[in-house]
């Protein structure tokens, strides 16, 4: 299994994937040069609340909000050209500033694992200051109110107006996610459609697998069944399609998750890490399309994540209820229970504590080094193998129940974990 901060980069996928992946080359002077150059060029935004520092947990855990923007601008708010929109297969007015990908990444203090939890874009939640609405409207609601306020105060249209308006939108989304999950966000990163297109182009495509062929006019998705490598416009269509899928947006979320795990594998491949031109293209794509929260030290973060491996990177989805919840003004939405969501998020930390305890137990019962005759007889017994989730105790008859398919909700909430060392076939 390959190691490096780039593994976690894969988790961050559309947003911080490639930029942190460059830190894998930290073993060389060239890699650190790229990362330092990135820190100077990347767009930053002041989106974390002033009181956030006082509310951060003292246990050293890190929570990152990753957002995919369905926008028609670059990271600096400049409109995309007609040629760029054609490459992305989108129209000028579609999407605006909706946040169609919302992922909370939780990292424990020992950085032993990383869990990326997707939040469906149509989740019906309480948006602070606006009431109950779909979560993907939190950002545009905050942005639009601030934009109108600034215009009324006399600020002329331009990059400064757009910058401050978008920061306000991001703050409203942050508050909404914090209220839903019970977590305090430490870092924020967003990426637009252009960035997703250029990042996949820079690394030469991603391998995915489909259970059946698909064809969708709205997203321009047209793929055969089975394993295949997709890139650029096709990659964008793959992660954007939701019409014609059995579970709509939930199936789209699973597609995004398996794509991001593929991105992790590809970024770590020798062809990516040893090709200076490809790395430069990767950095250029990110600095044109990614926005990071002010004060996020990417170099320090990459160093901290250097021991993470692909099998310790998981994707989950928050537990949901009805996928067609009637609402007064937002149409059909996805039903979510905030208490259940918070319990699910909290359970991830409980899993971390259990795994840490199991690791200590295995370590304490491991056989002593050869030649250590002073060890007590019981210490020579091999440590029991790690518990396999699919194992059935001998005294219990094997269950006839089928395990949930990739992405399906489990009884306790959240989909079956998808890790970065697999290529599951999806809808």
What CATH number has the domain bearing residue 24? 3.40.630.190
In a domain? residue 368: no
Q: Distance between CA 274 and CA 107 in Å, rounded?
A: 28
Does residue 159 contact residue 77 with C-beta atoms inside 8 Å?
A: yes
DSSP state of 25: G
Q: Distance between CA 44 and CA 55 in Å, rounded?
A: 22
Identify the band that residue 263 occupies on the pLDDT scale cut at 50, 70 and 90. Answer: confident
Does residue 99 contact residue 68 with C-beta atoms inside 8 Å?
A: yes
| Unique residue bearing structure tokens 């995309």 | 80
369-378: average pLDDT: 42
Structure tokens at 12: 């961050």
Identify the band that residue 140 occupies on the pLDDT scale cut at 50, 70 and 90. Answer: very high
- pLDDT above 70 (res 368): no
Identify the band that residue 132 occupies on the pLDDT scale cut at 50, 70 and 90. Answer: very high
- pLDDT above 60 (res 134): yes
For 181, the 3-state DSSP assignment is: helix
In a domain? residue 385: no
Nearest CA to 105 out of 135, 75, 63, 138 is that of: 63
245-249: average pLDDT: 85
Residues 32, 184, 161, 35: what is their CA dihedral angle, to the nearest 10 degrees? 0
How many domains does the chain fold into? 1
In a domain? residue 334: yes
Does residue 297 contact residue 48 with C-beta atoms inside 8 Å?
A: no
The H or E element spanning position 127 is strand 124-127
Q: Distance between CA 410 and CA 250 in Å, rounded?
A: 13
Identify the band that residue 127 occupies on the pLDDT scale cut at 50, 70 and 90. Answer: very high
> Which residues, listed in sequence order, are joined to residue 118 by a DSSP beta bridge?
103, 317
Check residue 68 and give left, alpha or beta (phi > 0: left; psi -120 to 50: alpha). Answer: beta
Q: What is the mean pLDDT of the chain?
A: 74
- pLDDT value, residue 38: 67
Summarize pLDDT for 19-58 with one digit per residue, the tens: 343 333 333 444 555 666 666 777 888 998 765 555 555 5
Say which range, 136-150, 206-220, 408-422, has the weakest mean pLDDT: 408-422
- pLDDT above 80 (res 251): yes
DSSP state of 390: T
- pLDDT value, residue 295: 86
- pLDDT above 60 (res 363): no
In a domain? residue 101: yes
CA distances for 408 relative to 209, 260, 316, 336, 412, angstroms = 16, 18, 10, 16, 12
Does residue 171 contact residue 178 with C-beta atoms inside 8 Å?
A: no
> Which residues, listed in sequence order, are joined to residue 208 by a DSSP beta bridge?
228
Summarize pLDDT for 66-123 with one digit per residue, the tens: 898 876 666 666 777 677 777 777 666 554 577 888 999 888 887 778 888 999 999 9
In a domain? residue 397: no
Summarize pLDDT for 157-174 with one digit per residue, the tens: 988 898 899 999 999 999
In a domain? residue 328: yes
CA distances for 265 relative to 175, 287, 423, angstroms = 32, 22, 10
Summarize pLDDT for 287-337 with one digit per residue, the tens: 777 888 888 877 677 677 766 666 777 889 999 999 999 999 999 999 999
In a domain? residue 399: no
Nearest CA to 41 out of 317, 204, 282, 352 is that of: 282
- pLDDT value, residue 32: 52
263 is in which domain, residue-wise? 5-353+415-419
Say which range, 5-14, 102-111, 204-213, 403-412, has the weakest mean pLDDT: 5-14
Residues 254, 260, 261, 264: what is their CA dihedral angle, to the nearest 10 degrees? 180
In a domain? residue 323: yes
């Amino acid at each position: 299994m390959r190691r490096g901060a780039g593994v976690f980069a894969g988790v961050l996928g559309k947003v911080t994937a490639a930029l942190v992946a460059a830190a894998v080359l930290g073993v060389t002077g060239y890699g650190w040069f790229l990362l330092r150059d990135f820190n100077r060029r990347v767009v930053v935004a002041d989106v974390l609340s002033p009181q956030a520092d006082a509310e951060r947990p003292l246990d050293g855990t890190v929570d990152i909000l990753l957002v995919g923007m369905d926008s028609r601008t670059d990271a600096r708010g400049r409109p995309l050209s007609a040629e760029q929109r054609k490459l992305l297969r989108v129209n000028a007015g579609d999407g605006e500033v909706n946040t169609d990908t919302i992922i909370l990444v939780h990292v424990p203090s020992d950085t032993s694992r990383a869990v990326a939890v997707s939040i469906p874009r149509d989740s019906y939640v309480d948006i602070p200051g606006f009431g109950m609405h779909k979560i993907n409207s939190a950002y545009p609601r905050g942005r639009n109110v601030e934009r109108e306020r600034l215009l009324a105060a006399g600020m002329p249209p331009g990059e400064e107006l757009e910058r401050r308006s978008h920061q306000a939108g991001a703050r409203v989304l942050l508050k909404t996610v914090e209220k839903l999950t019970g977590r305090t966000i430490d870092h924020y990163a967003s990426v637009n459609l252009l960035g997703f297109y250029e990042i996949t182009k820079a690394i030469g495509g991603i391998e995915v697998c489909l259970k059946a062929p698909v064809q969708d006019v709205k997203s321009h998705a047209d793929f055969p069944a089975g394993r295949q490598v997709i890139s650029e416009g096709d990659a964008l269509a793959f992660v954007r399609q939701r019409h014609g899928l059995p579970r709509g947006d939930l199936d789209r979320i699973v597609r995004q998750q398996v794509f991001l795990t593929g991105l992790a594998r590809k970024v770590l491949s020798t062809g990516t890490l040893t090709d200076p031109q490809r790395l430069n293209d990767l950095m250029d794509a990110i600095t044109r399309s990614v926005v990071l929260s002010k004060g996020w030290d990417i170099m320090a973060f990459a160093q901290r994540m250097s021991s993470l491996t692909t099998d310790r990177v998981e994707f989950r989805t928050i537990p949901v209820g009805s996928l067609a919840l009637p609402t007064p003004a937002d149409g059909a939405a996805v039903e979510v229970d905030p208490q259940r969501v918070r319990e699910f998020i909290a359970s991830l930390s409980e899993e971390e504590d259990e795994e840490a305890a199991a690791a200590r137990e295995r370590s304490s019962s491991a056989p002593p080094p050869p030649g250590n005759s002073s060890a007590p007889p019981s210490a020579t017994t091999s440590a029991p193998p790690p518990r396999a989730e699919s194992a059935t105790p001998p005294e219990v008859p094997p269950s006839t129940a089928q395990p949930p398919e990739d992405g399906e909700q489990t009884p306790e909430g959240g989909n079956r974990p998808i890790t970065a060392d697999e290529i599951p076939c999806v809808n």
